[in-house]
């Protein structure tokens, strides 16, 4: 697949989809509207689905690593998850941005998926199907029948991340599972891309269609229903497939797509850095300009400034400096489980697996 100006082995489509998700979350965090917008909930689900794609690519894509290499990769993914949990908790507890931070949930998903990283597509599909069928009802039952205030303090964060929070990973783990399946199926394959677009669109029609025609069925953002999981998850898969297909086209059309959408893909390639910075920035703006933490409003240009700054900074950073600062630090930490000799190899001596 084309390198699109990124380091060797980096794929354009997932970065583009991640950039779209990031900008969607910017909008969801800044624009207050009593009605549901297209980016509400769906952008974070797209973000979570790409997490699974990233895990799949990091561990070998359609040709997963074998032998002892798997142990190092599992260790690296577990470290990545733990770092994300720590960063998310720091943002939530100390920065206190005016948004539901997703990073600790995202990190927990990485930890939960570590044992399944090298499972077959069949096993991954069964696991994802079981989550979609069982967990929405179970989570709803637990929320209705249990009182989180009675949960012991040491267990409470895990209960929040799995059941009671904005992104209950007991349900949301289905999204990175779906992304991991797509990566294992061969994201670079036109057949896989077409199946992702067609299958994702069909799932979106089924999920949202059920909510539209069946009484009592909801697919609203963050409702945690089967209809939302199928509809929004299908939409996320279709978007990733479309971005990967478009970003991988040869000839003038493909080059045009990669040039025009390079800023969005650049933002997606350093999403951890930009997400963290935007959370800090919104906390400062909310406190200094918007009337304090209880006032859900921002100056009108906030979203435009946030998006423009992210695109410009990401483009310049990618072209001049490469990986984002937090991404670079994460990469160093996740290489710790590798044998010392492998860590010391120059880049051309490493595995040629795609980076994300």
Residue 198's alpha-carbon distances to 49, 206, 240, in angstroms, are: 17, 12, 12
Mean pLDDT confidence for 233-250: 95
Give the tens place of pLDDT for each residue, 97-107.
Answer: 989 999 999 99
pLDDT at 348: 33
Mean pLDDT of 274-290: 87
As given in the structure block, the two tokens for residue 70 are 């798997």
Is 186 in a helix, a strand, or coil?
A: coil
Closest CA to 232 of 261, 264, 210: 210
Residue 7 pLDDT exceeds 80: no
150-159, 183-192, 289-298, 322-331: lowest mean pLDDT where?
Answer: 289-298
Residues in the chain: 356
From residue 119, give the alpha-carbon distance in Å to each of 70, 72, 181, 188: 11, 16, 10, 20
214: DSSP letter: S
Per-residue confidence band for 220, with pLDDT thresholds at 50, 70 and 90: very high
Buried b (16+ CB within 10 A) or exposed e, 81-96: bebbbebbeebbeeee
pLDDT above 70 (res 75)? yes
Whether the pLDDT of residue 226 is over 60: the answer is yes
φ, ψ for residue 22 (rounded to 5)?
-60, -45
Residue 109 contacts residue 172 (beta carbons within 8 Å): yes
pLDDT class of 328 with cuts at 50, 70, 90: very high
- Residue pair 260/4 in contact (Cβ under 8 Å)? The answer is no
Task: Give me the pLDDT at residue 250, please.
Answer: 86
> pLDDT per residue over 108-156, tens digit each?
999 999 999 999 999 999 999 999 999 999 999 999 999 998 999 999 9
Find, among 143, 101, 192, 237, the residue nearest to 229 by Cα: 237
pTM of the entire structure?
A: 0.90
Q: Considering only residues 244 and 3, tell me which one the structure prediction assigns the higher pLDDT.
A: 244
Confidence check: pLDDT of 347 > 90: no
What is the rounded distance in angstroms from the CA atom of residue 286 to the CA atom of residue 332? 34
Which of 4-13, 64-73, 198-207 has the lowest average pLDDT? 4-13
When pLDDT is cut at 50, 70 and 90, the band that residue 352 belongs to is very low
Cβ atoms < 10 Å from Cβ of 291? 11
Helix/strand/coil percent split, the chain, to 5: 70, 0, 30
Mean pLDDT of the chain: 89
Q: Which pLDDT score is estimated for 355? A: 42
* Alpha carbons 324 and 72: distance in angstroms, whole number: 23
């Amino acid at each position: 697949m084309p390198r699109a100006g990124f380091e060797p082995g980096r794929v354009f489509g997932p970065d583009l989809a991640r950039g779209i998700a990031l900008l969607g979350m910017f909008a969801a965090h800044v624009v207050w509207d009593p009605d549901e917008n297209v980016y509400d909930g769906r952008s974070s689900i797209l973000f979570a689905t790409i997490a699974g794609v990233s895990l799949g690519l990091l561990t070998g894509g359609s040709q997963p690593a074998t032998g002892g290499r798997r142990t190092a990769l599992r260790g690296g993914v577990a470290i990545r998850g733990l770092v994300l949990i720590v960063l998310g908790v720091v943002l939530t507890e100390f920065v206190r941005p005016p948004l539901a931070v997703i990073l600790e949930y995202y990190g927990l998903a990485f930890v939960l998926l570590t044992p399944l990283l090298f499972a077959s597509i069949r096993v991954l599909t069964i696991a994802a199907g079981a989550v979609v069928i069982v967990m929405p009802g179970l989570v709803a039952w637990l929320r209705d029948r249990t009182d989180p205030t009675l949960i012991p303090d040491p267990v409470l964060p895990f209960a929040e991340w799995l059941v009671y929070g904005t992104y209950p990973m007991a349900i949301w783990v289905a999204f990175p599972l779906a992304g991991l399946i797509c990566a294992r199926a061969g994201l670079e394959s036109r057949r896989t891309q077409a199946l992702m677009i067609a299958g994702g669109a069909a799932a979106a029609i089924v999920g949202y269609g059920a909510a539209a025609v069946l009484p009592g069925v909801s697919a609203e953002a963050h409702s945690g229903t089967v209809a939302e999981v199928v509809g929004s998850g299908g939409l996320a898969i279709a978007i990733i497939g479309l971005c990967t297909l478009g970003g991988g086209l040869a000839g003038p059309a493909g080059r045009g797509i990669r040039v025009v959408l390079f800023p969005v893909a650049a933002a997606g390639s350093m999403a951890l850095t930009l997400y963290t910075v935007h959370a800090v920035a919104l906390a400062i703006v909310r406190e200094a300009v918007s009337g304090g933490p209880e006032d859900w409003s921002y100056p009108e240009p906030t979203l435009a400034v946030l998006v423009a700054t992210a695109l410009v900074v990401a483009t310049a950073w990618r072209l001049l400096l490469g990986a984002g600062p937090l991404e670079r630090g994460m990469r160093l930490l996740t290489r710790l489980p590798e044998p010392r000799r492998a860590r010391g190899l120059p880049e051309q001596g490493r595995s040629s697996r795609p980076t994300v």
